[in-house]
Amino acid sequence: MKIRQDAWSSEDDLLLAETVLRHIREGGTQLQAFDEVGDELNRTSAACGFRWNAVVRNQYNEAIKLAKKQRKDMKRRLSNRPTTIHTKMQTPIQTTSDATADASIERPTQGQSINLGDVLNFIQSLATNEGSSLQLKKENEKLMKENLQLMTEKKELETKLSKVENDYKVVEEDYQSLIQIMNRARRMALLQDEEEEIQSAPKFKMDKNGNLEKIAK
């Protein structure tokens, strides 16, 4: 019974993204991907689906587009391949003494027959293409995995950068508040000095003869 309810880690999210993208690329469904990830992480398929749609999906929009394009290309290749084979096998096979190992595998023109060497070369070409496709598929999956890893690291760095910017903004606001307090304190000190100077200055009064007389403190 799948009862795991702890928080999702970045590795869990990466596994979920890789699995979903692989199923999209290979023509599978997201439900199949959720089931696979659920078995791997001991979580329910519903929990995996909710995590994908609520959190992870938005981080991989470009990768999803690429996976869908690769699926479309793969379907196109597969739909073209049986037609080619059928065309080859419709032509009568005749064994001739002048068959060459390098016979063309292109569609024969009207009235032209192909020999056993043509068929063998065609089958060998298919096998070679399959091997090349498999190698390209492995390399593509490797690049996709590296790309997903880089995108995850980019997201983490963006989160850290946002936190640093917020911390800097708080420090800047505190600094400006401190400057304002210091300016107010400086003005108050200047006013106090002026008042003391005024109070300490000598005072005079005029006597009845019109002379100034200093008033004793």
Query: 128-178 pLDDT, tens per residue?
Result: 666 666 767 777 777 777 778 888 888 788 888 888 888 888 888 888 888
What average pLDDT score do residues 207-214 get?
70
Helix (H) or strand (E) holding 8: none
| Residue 43 pLDDT | 93
Which segment of 102-106, 113-117, 191-195 scores lowest on mean pLDDT?
102-106
Mean pLDDT of 6-19: 93
Enumerate long-range contacts of 90-93, CB under 8 Å, 24 or more apart. 93/119
Percent of the chain topping pLDDT 90: 29
More confident of the two residues 56 and 93: 56
What is the Cα–Cα distance from 120 to 102, expressed in whole angstroms? Answer: 10
